[in-house]
Amino acid sequence: MDTWAGVAQAILDGFNRHYTLFRQYSREGKECFARADWARAAKVSRERIQGYERRVQETVDRIQREFPSVANNNELWPRIKIVFIGKLMDHLQSECAETFYNSVACKVLHRDYYNSEYIFWRPAISVQYLRGSQPTYRSYYPESDGLRRSFLEILTSFRLAVPFENLRRDLRYLERALLDHRSQGWKAQPNFQIQVLGTPFYRNKGAYIVGRLINGDTKEPFVIPILRNREETITVDALLMQQKDVAVLFSFSRAYFLVDMEVPSAYVSFLLSIMPQKSAVDLYAMLGLQKQAKTIFYRELQHHLRHSRDDFQVAPGVRGMVMLVFTLPSMPFVFKLIKDRFDPPKTVSRQQVMEKYLLVKNHDRVGRLADTLEYSNVAIPIKRIEPALLDQLKEEAASSVEIDGDMLVIRHIYIERRMEPLDRYLAQASKQERKHAIMEYGNAIRDLAGADIFPGDMLKKNFGVTRHNRVVFYDYDEICYITECNFRRIPPPRDFDDVMSDTPWYSVEERDVFPETFGPFFFADQKDMAQFKKNHAELMTAAWWRQIKDDIEDGRQADIFPYRQNRRFKHRYG
């Protein structure tokens, strides 16, 4: 075997090992759900995320060991790429294998070689109509088989290994929910069918059967959440058929699903048909293939820069003390760099900030923490950067940027979905919007606490409002685990001197938190605070936080649903 073929095969071997392990981790979702082993499910998710970089490094090490000439000869890589393309014909994860190739090559090549001759700047293999060993989805025909019979076949086809608490009741609820969803005058067309993806989606304490309802020219989402009960049974919790509900289920602020996919591109194509407002970036990420999401986003960014004229600019809003944030107005994302020096009173280090972002990546985000795409060596045309931003980058993040000809190269950057900062949103919200946002603000803090996350800096500027009017936290430099905090009440003053003192009359250790002092962080306006207290007054008591901490330490995981309570059958029909 010549050097080109040997290196190409080594890279493909590395990817195949990665994806084999990826599927093994994903299949564990079913076992964890059956055993109600939520701690193991969280560990599996973390190991799956971390496994990619390990396989990449293993492959780089193998190439340097077996083919040392390649590490010192960049000119060999165009031929290696051609040979690698030939090995991807009919490969069922070819798009992901191309990304893996890029990850390996970019660890060996200098960034001057990051172009389509040396790496997959654009995809080389089409993923349309790939055929796996089994069909991607199964079809059911309610008109001929009966609606309830179709639901029975769908629920039992996955062999979930845990008995239903009351299958007859669940079938009745599903049938009723589908009939309630139909508009007046609905009529079955000759192609009326329910198509269901071949493997369930697992996350947190739920399993999700994901499909679509076809009738004539319409395609509607069809998602059945199934919950594990304490009595070692399972229950159908809802039927989600509105695009907004399913979009929230697949939100960027939630943990990745564990789902076993032989042909991931087929799953993404299916999901795009029921969530057209989503992008392939969103869906590859939510399926746990975050590196593929990064590849697609970077391609889209480069394409967008060639077909737009607006410039990168400093992000509007309150200036960050730790992160330098900028935007390209025509794209719905923000770009975040860690500053060289942090404004007082911030005392964290650069390494600690990176560790916080990694914590969020590996943790259950419960719909309240924004996911990020992390990049190295991103090149941006200097002519597309506003002077004020360029000055800030040079002054405040000089160690992270380098000018290379007519390009600004950013050595390390985080990219996340742009949201309206909560403080700016409230400044222009209507009365009803304000009321909802205040409720959501408290809900976000509750959900984070239930997921063992203490936000630290809970100022409203650190929360954003999504397009679905959900409040999400996105400032991570002070977050920590709830279990690391010591929640205390403020002891009463001993005398008048204590009351008048500029310093606390009580001891304060590093991990001490005093929820009674949260009020000014929440709302200075009395009306807003009164509205907040209607539903969330206990968030300013040490007792509430200590109870949450005790629950987490005792292994009691909070129930946080990725859909509205009024969608649950127990509220609709119970």
Tens-place pLDDT, residues 257-275: 999 999 999 999 999 999 9
| 431 CB-near residues (< 8 Å, 6+ apart) | none
How far, in Å, CA of 237 to CA of 511, rounded? 39
Which helix (H) or strand (E) covers residue 300, if one does? helix 290-306
Order the strands of the 463-465 sheet from edge to edge.
Answer: 420-421, 463-465, 471-473
Cα–Cα separations (whole angstroms), residue 309 to 329, 330, 383, 384:
10, 9, 10, 8
Nearest CA to 390 out of 378, 374, 401, 404 is that of 401
Secondary structure (3-state) at 26: helix
Token pair 């403020």 in the structure block, residue: 490
pLDDT value at position 112? 82
Model pLDDT for residues 175-195, shown as the tens digit of each residue: 999 999 998 889 999 999 999
Mind listing the pLDDT tens digit of every residue in the chain (574 residues)?
588 889 999 999 999 999 999 999 999 999 999 999 988 998 999 999 999 999 999 999 999 999 988 777 778 899 999 999 999 999 999 999 999 999 999 998 888 888 889 899 999 999 988 899 999 999 999 999 999 999 999 999 999 989 999 999 999 999 999 999 998 889 999 999 999 999 999 998 899 999 999 999 999 999 999 999 888 899 999 999 999 999 999 998 898 999 999 999 999 999 999 999 999 999 999 999 999 999 999 999 999 999 999 999 999 888 888 999 999 999 999 999 999 999 888 888 999 999 999 989 888 888 899 999 999 999 999 999 999 999 999 999 999 999 999 999 999 999 999 999 999 999 999 999 999 999 999 999 999 999 999 998 889 999 999 988 999 999 998 899 999 999 999 887 776 666 667 777 677 788 889 999 898 888 888 899 999 999 999 999 999 999 999 999 988 777 888 898 899 998 888 7
Contact 40, 63 (CB under 8 A): no
How far, in Å, CA of 254 to CA of 276, rounded? 19
Cα–Cα separations (whole angstroms), residue 442 to 107, 307, 392, 531:
44, 41, 34, 11
Query: Do the bridges between strand 407-417 and strand 333-338 make them parallel or antiparallel, or are there none, so unpaired?
Result: antiparallel
pLDDT value at position 115? 85
Token pair 């000055």 in the structure block, residue: 391
Residue burial 235-265, b: 16+ Cβ < 10 Å; e: rest: bbbbbbbeeebbbbbbbbbbbbbbbbbbbbb
Q: What six digits make up the tokens of 363?
A: 């943790």
How far, in Å, CA of 147 to CA of 154, rounded? 11
DSSP letter for 469, please. S
pLDDT value at position 264? 97
* SS (HEC) of 314-331: ECCCCCCCCEEEEECCCC
| 183 CB-near residues (< 8 Å, 6+ apart) | none
The number of residues in the chain equals 574
Nearest CA to 418 out of 330, 300, 333 is that of 333
- Residue 375: other Cβ atoms inside 10 A: 17
Contact 545, 538 (CB under 8 A): no
Query: Do the bridges between strand 486-487 and strand 512-513 make them parallel or antiparallel, or are there none, so unpaired?
Result: parallel
pLDDT value at position 499? 61
Catalytic residue among 371, 447, 452, 475: 371
Is 371 considered catalytic here? yes
- Record the pTM: 0.93
* SS (HEC) of 150-216: HHHHHHHCCCCCCCECCHHHHHHHHHHHHHHHCCCCCCCCCCCEEEEECCCEEECCEEEEEEEEEEC
Secondary structure (3-state) at 232: coil
